[in-house]
Structure 1
Amino acid sequence: MIHILHLLGAALGWLAIVVATLGIIYCTAAAFIFRHYFAAATPAPVRHDAVTLLKPLYGDEPRLYDNLASFLAQDHAGPIQLLCGIQRADDPAIAVVKALKLAHPDADIQLVVDGTVHGASGKISNLVNMEPFIRHGIVVLSDSDIAVAPDYLGQLLRALDRPNVGIVTCIYAGRGDAGFWSRLGAAGVSYQFMLGLVFGVANKLATPCMGSTIAMTRETLQRIGGFGSFADKLADDYAIGEAVRALGLSIVLPPMLVDHAFDETSLSALWHHELRWGATVRDVAFWPYVGSIIGLPLPVAVLAMLYWPAAGLVLFALAAIVRLVVVRSVDATVGRRIASLGLALAHDGMSFAIYIASFFVRSVDWRGATLTMKTEGRIVAAHKIENAEQRA
């Protein structure tokens, strides 16, 4: 028995050494690819297309007004309809939308307050309630915590013009809006998730569809059955992308960035947020998610030190240097300092814990609701499960 445990320990030790080494190589390559990917960006022409912007809202986030206002400050000559959806008559986001309308009296801003539930996903229920009010032929959906540059619509529309394109989605960098924990989350999404995303897209290993932006024609939305078709999907953005791909259309990510605002004020809030992300990705892309461990060479090098201290220490030092290169490369590309190197390294440790925990999660918390994960990416709200048990 002792011999077997020794062999198992040796195998795990060498595995950690191999994974840490591959991770260092990967992070170095990913940092180079990241800079090259956005170097291809070019100015977008001013367009005259009529566009409906969909904003499902929930609560008053720290910079919600500024986030929404960025979608009105566009270098765009055509009509823009900003359609905001809210599910509760007492939601503080209503006051934000009203203030936005007062500040932009000439803008076409419409507020839809409707609490009708269409499935387990509150976000999709919100979108279903907004759908009848869409007036224009191009629809752009984005989360409430997204802020954009003035050329946002021009870049989207140019990409949507490409042959056989069904959806345009956007890569996003983190922005901490609520202190330390929000900055820690911003560091993770910028220096780890975004890096891996660009690496996968540039090497044609991934074609994600993300809530940061989903731009499509209204015809395409109708062809996939409208938003109601995704009412019980946790990864609704992924499911929308899969439905569009099933039509034979492609998803593209132009070389542009939007900001994703983090507003977590505690470790618990950030933990639950990122655990939901991890569990979601695990369900929709299991083996790629397993392989994503190479994006965490620093904590894996710590494990290697437990087996072979000298080799592990060397790998740890190299991993820290590579992470510094990543931080500098991302900040230079984004054009601002997202977080310190210390926060980036701290988040690597947290990401490793999230990675391990995500394989054991079958329910997640999302905006005050507990959602149980079922097969094929479906979710069921906790109250529905309780009702079913009571009927039984």
Structure 2
Amino acid sequence: MSIAHFCAFAVALFAIGGWFFVWLMHIVAILYGKYRLHRMLPPPSPEDLQGISIIKPLVGVDPNLFSNLETFFHLKYPAYELLFCVQDENDPAIMVVQKLIETYPKINAKLFIGITKVGANGKINNMVKAYEAAKYDLLVISDSSIRMIEDGLTDMASFLKEDVGLVLQMPYTYNRKGFAATYEKVFFGTWQARNALSANSVGINCSTGMSCLFRKDLIEDAGGLAQFGKYLAEDYFISKVISERGYRTVLCSQPAMQNSGYCSIGDFHKRLIRWSMLRASLLPHLMFFEPLSECMLLGVIVSWAMEYMFGISPMGFFLLHVLLWFLCDYTLLRIVENGPLPFSKFEFLVAWLLREVLAFYLTLQSHRTPYIKWRHKSYKAHWGGIIEEV
């Protein structure tokens, strides 16, 4: 066998092996999603539920902010406090919070204005005051766009066993109108859900900081929340610290319902590019493996490999590959949604095709510049996740 044939054989074998691995992720995600999502554990008795401090970092106002925050005033949980953090005294979010505090005087809620500069991460700077003032040993960090169901906090607390240090709500989206909202829901219910569910099923760090519950003492052992100000992906490192102390990170049954009032495909693509850049700075090997795990590129490579190894028609194999991927993603999305989808099958098809076709392009865009744009600031990420503000 010549060197060229040996190299082609090795590449084809590697591609087919990777293809089977990705299909294993599909199967595990579907089975684990069916097992874990929307299946609440029996809640502990009220006297066994520990108090929880909920930290809500806020910047600016969007059309859904008031209704999103209001859901946290209706939580069915025996003891919790709401700690709202606003960076600037002129931020209009202050009026929204003050109105809610006046409307629900029986709920223990406080407002903190101004940052404590501990690093380049603006979100951490915004939360330090609330973190230090929290009176409970369990903390929840919840983004401003999250909409919580009444028993959502109880659901999270139910999964906090003795060997669990961090409980996550898997990112998803609340039902909203418009194609951009459909596009976001398809992404979070397919690609994001597949990776989060398959990773969590085997104990791999898949932490996201949108909505998470953790033990404060574990973070205090690492130097407190301020120690994570040098990272932009603080959620990943919080989970890593907890794991290093022998505790597990688990998903609870209810997804985190993102409900931003502003929804556009362009803005969402910017988020995807930023997340891709962060993943590459944390785990550099993903720059190579992540694009190869996408439906279209993987399908093209494996179709060639199947023809080279077994003489199978590449076009027929590619079409079958795409069809099966489509059906698996549709099945997983239905599991995450826990019922009929709020859009038609045709809308799902269009949104799914757009995401899959643009996946490789967006990955390339994430490598065009070393600078990460987040809100109104720019950062440069170094290997290991440490950032500096530009």
Q: Tell me, yes or no, whether TM beats 0.5.
A: yes
Asked if residue 329 in structure 1 is aligned to residue 332 in structure 2, the reply is yes
SS in 2 for 1:377: coil
Return the alpha-carbon distance in structure 1 between the equivalents of residues 27 and 240 of structure 2.
31
Return the alpha-carbon distance in structure 2 between the equivalents of residues 82 and 275 of structure 1.
32
Most deviating of 145-154 and 366-375: 145-154
Q: How do residues 147-296 of structure 1 correspond to structure 2 at under 5 angstroms?
A: 147-160=147-160, 162-175=161-174, 177=176, 179-204=178-203, 206-261=204-259, 265-287=263-285, 290-293=288-291, 295-296=293-294
Return the alpha-carbon distance in structure 1 between the equivalents of residues 40 and 293 of structure 2.
26
Return the alpha-carbon distance in structure 2 between the equivalents of residues 171 and 289 of structure 1.
23
Most deviating of 122-131 and 7-16: 7-16
Return the alpha-carbon distance in structure 2 between the equivalents of residues 20 and 248 of structure 1.
33
Give the drift of 1:107. Answer: 1.3
Give the drift of 1:259. Answer: 1.4
Cα 1:338–1:235 change in 2 (3 A) is farther
What are the Cα deviations for residues 50-88 of structure 1, in whole angstroms up to 9, with x where unaligned? 22110011122342222222222222122x211100102
Give the drift of 1:94. Answer: 1.8
Asked if residue 362 in structure 1 is aligned to residue 360 in structure 2, the reply is no
What are the Cα deviations for residues 150-193 of structure 1, in whole angstroms up to 9, with x where unaligned? 22222222322x22332222222233647433432232122111
Return the alpha-carbon distance in structure 1 between the equivalents of residues 165 and 198 of structure 2.
22
AA in 1 matched with 2:226: G
Which sections of structure 2, spanning at least 5 residues, go unmatched?
none
Give the drift of 1:17. Answer: 6.7
Return the alpha-carbon distance in structure 2 between the equivalents of residues 280 and 365 of structure 1.
11
Return the alpha-carbon distance in structure 2 between the equivalents of residues 243 and 29 of structure 1.
26
Match of 2:137 in 1: 137
Return the alpha-carbon distance in structure 2 between the equivalents of residues 261 and 216 of structure 1.
23
SS in 1 for 2:36: helix
Asked if residue 351 in structure 1 is aligned to residue 359 in structure 2, the reply is yes
TM-score by length of 1: 0.83
Cα 1:68–1:318 change in 2 (3 A) is same
Cα 1:60–1:275 change in 2 (3 A) is same
Most deviating of 42-51 and 306-315: 306-315
Return the alpha-carbon distance in structure 1 between the equivalents of residues 243 and 21 of structure 2.
32
Asked if residue 379 in structure 1 is aligned to residue 387 in structure 2, the reply is yes
Match of 2:106 in 1: 106
**Quick one: percent identity of the two aligned structures?**
20
Give the drift of 1:202. Answer: 1.2
Cα 1:200–1:286 change in 2 (3 A) is same
Which sections of structure 1, spanning at least 5 residues, go unmatched?
383-392
Does the 8 Å CA contact 1:168/1:253 hold for their aligned counterparts? Answer: yes
Return the alpha-carbon distance in structure 2 between the equivalents of residues 285 and 348 of structure 1.
22
Asked if residue 83 in structure 1 is aligned to residue 91 in structure 2, the reply is no
Does the 8 Å CA contact 2:22/2:293 hold for their aligned counterparts? Answer: yes
AA in 1 matched with 2:66: Y
Return the alpha-carbon distance in structure 1 between the equivalents of residues 55 and 337 of structure 2.
25
Cα 1:60–1:117 change in 2 (3 A) is same
Does the 8 Å CA contact 1:24/1:319 hold for their aligned counterparts? Answer: no
Return the alpha-carbon distance in structure 2 between the equivalents of residues 249 and 20 of structure 1.
32
Cα 1:217–1:325 change in 2 (3 A) is closer
Give the drift of 1:139. Answer: 1.6
TM-score by length of 2: 0.83
Match of 1:27 in 2: 26
What are the Cα deviations for residues 35-59 of structure 1, in whole angstroms up to 9, with x where unaligned? 2333754342453532211001112
Give the drift of 1:355. Answer: 2.8
Return the alpha-carbon distance in structure 2 between the equivalents of residues 92 and 312 of structure 1.
56
Give the drift of 1:371. Answer: 0.7
SS in 1 for 2:143: coil
Does the 8 Å CA contact 2:37/2:253 hold for their aligned counterparts? Answer: yes
Does the 8 Å CA contact 1:23/1:296 hold for their aligned counterparts? Answer: no
Most deviating of 174-183 and 268-277: 174-183
Match of 1:74 in 2: 75
SS in 2 for 1:376: coil
Return the alpha-carbon distance in structure 2 between the equivalents of residues 372 and 216 of structure 1.
28
SS in 1 for 2:259: strand
Does the 8 Å CA contact 2:52/2:140 hold for their aligned counterparts? Answer: yes
Does the 8 Å CA contact 2:163/2:248 hold for their aligned counterparts? Answer: yes
Q: Could you say what the CA RMSD is over the residues aligned between the two structures, in angstroms?
A: 3.2
Cα 1:223–1:15 change in 2 (3 A) is closer
Cα 1:22–1:252 change in 2 (3 A) is closer
Cα 1:268–1:257 change in 2 (3 A) is closer
Give the drift of 1:95. Answer: 2.5
Return the alpha-carbon distance in structure 2 between the equivalents of residues 44 and 379 of structure 1.
40
Does the 8 Å CA contact 1:176/1:185 hold for their aligned counterparts? Answer: no
AA in 1 matched with 2:90: D
Give the drift of 1:138. Answer: 2.0
Does the 8 Å CA contact 1:62/1:178 hold for their aligned counterparts? Answer: no
